[in-house]
Amino acid sequence: MSALNISRHDKVLRLAGSLRIDDIVPALAGLKKQCAQALPEVIDLAGVTACDSAGVALMLELRRMGVKQITHLPADMVAIVEACQIHPLLPANRSVSDRADASTYKNENS
C-alpha cells in the first residue's frame, strides 16, 4: 500500500501522506483514475507530510492538465518552489498563519 492517500470530495482532490518519489509512483494509477473521471478544480495538500521534487513535478503536471488551484502546500514544497523560482507556475494558497510564517522567514533571512 502506498504512503500517499487520495480521496475526492466533489471537485476537490485531497492528498495525504508522502509526496516523495517512492510514494508517488505506486499511487499514480489511482491518481490518474481520479483525474480521468473528472479533472478536479482544487488539489488540497493539507494532509501531505513530506515532499520532494517529484511532488513538485506532479503538482506542475496537474496544473498543466488544468487544475485551477493547489492549496495548503507543505513547507518543504514551498521551499523547493521558491528555490527553483517557479512560484508563478505553481501559485499556492496558504492560510493566514502560513503567510505570516513565510514573511517572517524572508525578513529574518534577507
CB distance 4 to 14 below 8 Å: no
Q: Among 7-16, 65-74, 83-92, which stretch is predicted with the lowest mean pLDDT?
A: 83-92
Compute φ and ψ for 72, nearest 5 degrees.
55, 50
In this structure, CATH architecture of domain 4-109: 2-Layer Sandwich (3.30)
Instruction: Write the pLDDT tens digit of every residue in 13-63.
Output: 999 999 999 988 888 888 888 888 899 999 999 999 999 999 999 999 899
pLDDT score recorded for residue 91: 76
User: Going by DSSP bridges, is the β-strand pair 69-71/4-9 parallel, antiparallel, or unpaired?
Assistant: unpaired
pLDDT score recorded for residue 26: 85
Compute φ and ψ for 13, nearest 5 degrees.
-105, 120
Return the sign of the alpha-carbon dihedral for residues 48, 89, 76, 94.
negative
DSSP 67: -
